[in-house]
Amino acid sequence: MSGTLILVRHGQSEWNLKNLFTGWRDPGLTEKGHEEAKEAGRKLKARGMKADIAFTSDLSRAQVTNDHILHELGQDGLKTIRDQALNERDYGELSGLNKDDARKKWGEEQVHVWRRSYDTPPPGGESLKDTGARVWPYFLHDILPHVLRGETVLVAAHGNSLRALVMALDGLSGDEIVRTEIGTGVPIIYRLNADSTVASKEILEG
């Protein structure tokens, strides 16, 4: 057995609540989102978990989520590395639009393809495949070595950047990962073997 990798999607954001495409835009958390982040920390604390290092994106909703979790763990000030490689998928021209308005502009079928296909990007944006192309190298070079040294690593990021990691860790296909939901503020705990394969996975729901 090697180390532990904890993945947490940020708590509900103001734009999640308003049904807007967010991407690289930077809205804050809702009151519910702050509470979801704190609850993630409490769940991890109840398991007796402590992080050795944290990674988060360049967007404040993930950073604040990370701060809440670390506070609940009694680890304020833990070394945290921020990098836009962990940012949410860039939705390009869809960013900031209400999902219903986008459907009126481009048609329901086209918007569904952009949202739920693996490799079709929206105008000016990224597909999930594109997101993975920046997330995976960062994970392999910067995050995984800490886990393989036996450390517990916290990654607070976004639905699609975490989907890219889950896809690789769980060995999912493109079709499978686009159907995989990652809840806001729900810790996913991977314990990895020394060869980086997954020894166990646990989702702390409820």
> Is the Cα torsion angle 126, 66, 44, 134 positive or negative in sign?
positive
> From the first residue on, what is the mean pLDDT of each consecutive set of 10 residues in the chain (206 residues)?
93 93 95 98 97 98 98 98 98 94 95 93 96 98 97 97 97 94 97 95 92
Does the annotation count 112 as an active-site position?
A: no
pLDDT for the residue 2: 85
CB atoms within 10 A of CB 115: 17
| 10, 39, 126, 158: the active-site residue | 10
Position 49 scores a pLDDT of 96
Residue 145 confidence (pLDDT): 97
Distance CA 82, CA 95 (A): 22
pLDDT at 206: 74
Burial label for 124, CB within 10 Å (0-12, 13-18, 19+), is exposed
Q: Which CATH superfamily is domain 4-203 in?
A: Phosphoglycerate mutase-like (3.40.50.1240)
Domain ranges of the chain: 4-203
Q: How many helices (H) and strands (E) does the chain have?
A: 9, 6
Residue 125's nearest CA partner among 100, 98, 160, 89 is 89
Check the CA dihedral 69-45-189-199 and report its sign. positive
Active site residue 31: no
Spot the catalytic one: 39, 88, 126, 158. Answer: 88
Concatenated DSSP letters of 82-132: E-GGGSPPP-GGGTT-BHHHHHHHH-HHHHHHHHH-SS-PPTTS--HHHHH
Q: Give me 206's structure tokens.
A: 């409820």
- pLDDT for res 1: 64
Q: What is the DSSP letter of 44?
A: H
